[in-house]
Amino acid sequence: MDQFSFTPIEQTLRRALEEDLGHGDLTSLLVVPVGLAGRARVLAKEDFVLAGMPFMAMVFSIVDPEVILEVLRPEGSSVRSGDVLATISGAARSLLAGERTSLNILQRVSGIATLTRAYANRVRDLPVRITDTRKTTPGLRLLEKYAVRTGGGANHRFGLYDGILVKDNHIRPAGSVAEAVRRAKSGHHLLKIEVEVRNLAEVEEALRAGADVIMLDNMTVPEMAEAVRVIRRTREGVLVEASGNVNLDTVRGIAETGVDIISVGALTHSARAVDISMKME
């Protein structure tokens, strides 16, 4: 069947399975009897935010449609070490074939959701959104951005194709912030124009040029606070995003400047995979 008959996520999971299984699980083919039924428990081995069970279910459905996965904890819930997250039953060979791929994905996605929840909790009483970036694992962007949403964050643009973000490497060949924004505004009339700025002079230039969203890149907290005051005083409706040098220690202070969005590349590029195991019974 043509690979384009599958959804993008299913294509990703099939490629992951092919990477692990190749032409077959040699150990199980030799050791596990044909037709032997098996049952396994998926166990949390530390505290974290659960995300990715739909992907685990999809992996096993690709391996063997007769495998039954019963999810015991809801997506986005906080689980504790020792919790049973799901039970899986079916042919023992099928359970072993899908074990590592499904766990790799579940651990990665839950790790991102867990880190995102930590950031969101730091600013939950403030009117600001924590968003991801395009700093994702190649091939896993859909899964990782799903994890951000499950953890309580929001998605920035998915790729270069669905949002206009004028960065410093666009501004240099264009000649100036104003010229880069002018050229960007000649494109799709339904898309907002976001521009990255590094100082107050560029903030004012972006405002005069008619930018819809202004990203404050690697500014200090006092500089961001002043930039927000200038933007709010100059024109209504402009969204303000903060980016760069954001971590769990700084995110609260950044949010208190009054920005609308804080984008955090670490949500996806630096999240630690959580510890989950699958134990056969």
Residues annotated as part of the active site: 100, 135, 167, 196, 217
**Strands 239-243 vs 213-217: parallel, antiparallel or unpaired:** parallel
What six digits make up the tokens of 272?
A: 């630690």
d(CA 36, CA 48): 33
d(CA 256, CA 97): 49
For residues 197 and 177, is the Cβ–Cβ distance under 8 A? yes
- Quick one: CA dihedral 156, 158, 164, 170, positive or negative? positive
Could you tell me the CA-to-CA distances from 215 to 119, 221, 264 in Å, in that order?
A: 19, 14, 12
- Closest by Cα among 34, 26, 39 to 97: 26
Q: What are phi and psi of 167, to 5 degrees?
A: -105, 180
Measured in whole angstroms, the distance separating CA 131 from the mean position of its chain's CA atoms is 9
